[in-house]
Amino acid sequence: MQTPPFLKAGDTIGIVAPARKITKEELEPAVEILKGWGLKVKTGKNLFGACNQYSGTDEERLADMQEMINDGTVKAILSARGGYGTLRFADRLDFSSLLRNPKWIIGYSDITVLHTLVHAIGIETLHATMPVSFGKDADSVESLRKALFGQRLEYTLPPHQLNRAGKISAPLVGGNLSLIYAMSGGKSDLDTNGKILFLEDLDEYLYHIDRMMMNLKRSGKLDGLAGMVIGGMTEMKDNTIPFGKTAEEIIYDAVKEYDYPLCFGLPAGHGIQNKALIMGRTCVLTVGEQSTLVF
C-alpha cells in the first residue's frame, strides 16, 4: 500500500460533499479549525449545492471529487459529511492521477465507498471524523490532525465479554457495514482475505445487521480474516417482536466458529467518539486484558 505524503503547514486540503448536502454555516467552524492547523482550504464548486437530499446532481458531485483528485495543489480530500450518494457515481471516478500523486481521502459512513475503491488501487485512506461532526468530540478531531501530520496513533479499547483474545499484525479494511453490503458483488467489492476487518453502523434494524453479516459470511468475507474489530453499532432499532440479540451478539454469532482475534468497542463510527483509522495500513491488534490497536 502507498502512504500519501503527510501534510505540513501551508498545504491545501480540499473539501467536497459527495453525498448529503451541507450549508456554509455548518461547515465554517471546521474550516476555522483546519486553518488553525496551518492548512489552506479549497472547497468544491458544488459544495453548497442542493438536489433533493444531495449536495448536487450525481454529475456535479462527481465533478467536484474528480477535480480535487486531479488538482496537484490539493494534498488531501476531506468529505464534508456522509449520508448517502457516493455509490451513485463512484465507479465513474478516474484514479489515474491519484496513482501518480497519492493524497489522503478522508471520511467515514458513506465514504466507505471511496475507502474500498482506493484500497483496490493500493493507496491508504483515513476513516475519520468529518466537518459536520467536528463539534462532537475534540479528541476525535485531534486524532485526525495527528494522522494527517504523520503522528503515531494508538488506541486502548475497553474490555468486552464477547472479545476473543489474540494478537495480529495485518492491514485494516472495512468501514460502514451497510455500504460494504451494498458494494458486495460489484467491481468495488471488498477484499478481506488476510485483513483485519473493521465494522460500524448506524440506525439499522437488528435483523438487517444479521442479514448483512450472513451476506459477508456466505460470500467468504469472514473465514479468511486475520482479525476483526468492531466500532460503534449506534442507535440500533428493533421490531415489535424483539430480534433477541444485540448487534454485537449478532456479529459474534456470525464469526464464533473462527479463531482469529475479535475485539468490540473501538471508539470509531457514528458515536460521539470517532477516532481516526488508517485504512489499508498494517496495524497491530492486541486483544486481551488490555486491548490495543496501534498504527
Catalytic residues: 109, 200, 270
**Residue that the C-alpha cell 484500497 belongs to:** 119
- Say how far residue 69 (Cα) sits from the centre of its chain: 18
26, 35, 65, 91, 122 from 47: Cα distances, Å:
12, 18, 10, 20, 28
63, 117, 187 from 225: Cα distances, Å:
36, 19, 20
One DSSP character per residue, 183-248 reads HTTSTT----TTSEEEEEEES-BHHHHHHHHHHHHHTTTTTT-SEEEEEEEES-B--SS--SS-HH
**Residue that the C-alpha cell 494522522 belongs to:** 147
C-alpha closest to that of 198 among 289, 261, 104: 261
| Burial track 130-140 (b if 16+ CB lie within 10 A, e otherwise) | bbbbbeebeeb
How far apart CA 285 and CA 195 sit, in angstroms, is 11
